[in-house]
Structure 1
Amino acid sequence: MAARAYWQGQIRLALVSIPVEIYPATKSGASISFRQIHEPSGKPINYEKVVQGIGPVDRDEIVKGYELSKGNYVLLDDEEIEAAKVESRKTLELVQFVDAHEIDVFYFEKPYFVVPADDLADEAFIVLRDALRKAKKVGLGQLSVRGSEKLVSIKPCGKGLVLETLRYADEVRKAQSYFTEIPDDKPDKELLDLATQLIEKKSAPFDASEFHDRYVDAIKEIIDKKAKSKGKKVIEDVDEPAPSGKSNVIDLMAALKESVDGKGGKKKAPAKKSTSRKKSA
């Protein structure tokens, strides 16, 4: 495989050990990164370590500190931090199985592909994969890697398995504290029916290739134009939808009806705005 294995070891299920390799399932996308440039010289700006009231300091004078309170730090050296790291065990033990829907979506962090390490592991690997699929369960365990211990889940994916790193409970905020101000009102039946029709009309199988980061595309276009125009400004105006002065209920009803009738329900927006599209919910 072209990619480098993220982890190599064994998945253990009771007395059964399965040699596996784990590979990142994602890669860096088309994100744009910028450097800060000194405009008069055109050279990149570097950063130096500076202490307030003292000035630049040498790298060997720097230690890590944890802030207990404002301006109050506990200092730790590299040896102390290294000693606290979890030993990198080469075994991922599946200690619990749960229904997939029991894990809230905001616990999931990053996916990885899991494959058998060799031909001898194929049989046990296939048995585990198909047993998870038949039971409709997800396996849970803790993966020790690079000095830390990650909570992970394992589930079938096609002919293989997918491992997903999960956030721990103290890393996830409780939704209730954000949703308490939302009223318990029931929606108007006609509005609900129209919204349901619109959802059904726009339903289709998921295909990630149909979606693109329009910001990145626009920045790349500007960079390309500016490179060809030798640094001249090439910023183009972007039309913003005009706000509507009508009440929310009337606009919502009209917008939903228009969308269901097909005037606003197309997947791709037209190149130019029409007056009917200026209405807002």
Structure 2
Amino acid sequence: MTAPARMTARTNWRGMLRIGALQCPVALYTAVSTSERIHFHIINRATGHRVRRDYIDEDTGRVVERDDQVKGYETDSGEEVILTPEDIAAAIPDSDKTLSVSAFLRCRDIDDLYLDRTYYLAPGTGPAAGAYPLIRDAIQARQVGALARTVLFRRMRTLVIRADGAGLVASTLHFNYEVRPVQAAFESIPDFTPTPDMLDLARHIIRSRQGRFDPAAFEDRYEAAVTALVQARIEGRALPPPPAKPAAPAITLMQALRESAGQMPPTPAHRRGTARGRAAAPHRKAG
């Protein structure tokens, strides 16, 4: 993690972090950005011209200019409740530019499912800025997250603030109604009880492949493939077709566990696929 104080990016929000009578100036910076990804324009295949988007009146077929666009909510009877930008602005709570901490939660009790977007919470400027390291160290020592609320991007949001290395990070939280019930997702889990031998093999596989979390090792294969494709088109050359994938043989769960644990030789089709993958690896890396 880069220390927030060294960041030169534009801030998303500036205000005060307040814990009772203790307060210090802070600033939010976006921690995750997709700006480095390749971005495409939409092109008319026939003319090569760029295409722009317009909002079209579904009855008249005419373009609706931005100043004439308002929001509508469809009722159960099919009627539209019209809300103008002024109506919505008047309903949004005013921002007092304060992150008011209401409680502290143990970090292990915070369900990751509720974490939304994460920001670097850097110290601001002013005579109260010295409280920042005090708050950071106290949160770190207790292994807790500070629950706070503020108006952010025109909405009242709840955030959890945690210590991270030299600074603090603040993550917005999903509201409870936004998180879907888990039962529907897992209701189709088969009624199957693994045998002790299966569990022993599975534990062995996990132990033998234990690693460390290293985001630098993650490969965005889609972005790499698209970058290589764009570069090939610029240079006027074609990319070689990807190697054909052999059909996976039908094996039992126990056979798969034993093969993964190194207790039986891989199937011929598996060996061929692995060899082809090793032969193709230098090309993918170069691309």
TM-score calculated relative to the size of structure 2: 0.83
Provide the identity percentage: 29
SS for the counterpart of 2:276 is: coil
Distance 1:262 1:255 in 2: 6
- Structure 2 match to 1:200: 207
**Equivalent residues, number:** 266
Residues 30, 216 of structure 1: 8 Å contact kept? no
Structure 1 contact 48–56 (Cα < 8 Å) conserved: no
In 1, Cα distance between the equivalents of 2:108 and 2:246?
39
- Do residues 123 (structure 1) and 127 (structure 2) align? no
Match of 2:143 in 1: 136
The Cα offsets for residues 168-210 of structure 1, whole Å up to 9 and x where unpaired, read as 1011112122112324543222221112112122212211111
Aligned to 2:182: 175
What code does the residue aligned with 1:2 have? Answer: T
The equivalent residue for 1:244 is: 249
Q: Deviations over 1:105-150 (max 9, x none)?
A: 1111111112221363343222211221222211101121232111
- Displacement of 1:234: 4.2
CA contact (8 A) 1:191 1:256 kept: no
User: What corresponds to 2:12 in structure 1?
Assistant: 6
1:145 matched to 2:152? The reply is yes
- 1:104, CA displacement in angstroms? 1.3
3-state SS of the aligned residue for 2:149? Answer: strand
Q: Does the 8 Å contact 2:258/2:264 carry over to 1? A: no
Unaligned runs of 5+ residues in structure 2 are 1-6, 268-272, 279-287
Q: For residue 58 of structure 1, what is the aligned residue in structure 2? A: 64
Provide the residue aligned with 2:224 in structure 1. 217
CA gap 1:214/1:30 in 2 versus in 1, 3 angstroms: farther
Structure 2 counterpart of 1:26, from 12, 29, 32? 32
For 2:79 and 2:206, how far apart are their aligned partners in 1? Answer: 54
Query: Does the 8 Å CA contact 1:11/1:94 hold for their aligned counterparts?
Result: yes
Read off the aligned partner of 1:126 and give its amino acid letter: P
CA distance in 2 between partners of 1:119 and 1:271 (Å)? 61
More moved, 111-120 vs 196-205? 111-120
Pairwise CA distance, 1:257: 2.9
- Asked if structure 1 preserves the Cα contact closer than 8 Å seen for 2:18 and 2:101, the reply is yes
Q: Which residue of 1 aligns with 2:282?
A: none
Classify the secondary structure of the residue corresponding to 1:95.
strand
Moved more, 83-92 or 35-44: 35-44
Task: Provide Cα deviations, 1:46-104, integer angstroms capped at 9, x if missing partner.
Answer: 22222223111331432211122474321111110110112121111100111112221
Deviant stretches of 4+, over 6 Å: 260-264
Distance in 1 between residues matched to 2:204 and 2:156, nearest whole Å:
46
One-letter amino acid of the structure 2 residue matched with residue 158 of structure 1:
G
Residue 40 of structure 1 and its aligned partner are, at CA, apart by 2.4
The more displaced of 212-221 and 117-126 is: 117-126
Residue by residue over 1:26-47, the C-alpha shift from the partner in whole angstroms, topping out at 9 and shown as x without a partner, is: 2225433333221222111222
Using the alignment, how far apart are the partners of 1:21 and 1:273 within structure 2? 47
Measured at CA, do residues 226 and 69 of structure 1 come closer, stay the same or move farther in structure 2, by a change above 3 Å?
Answer: farther
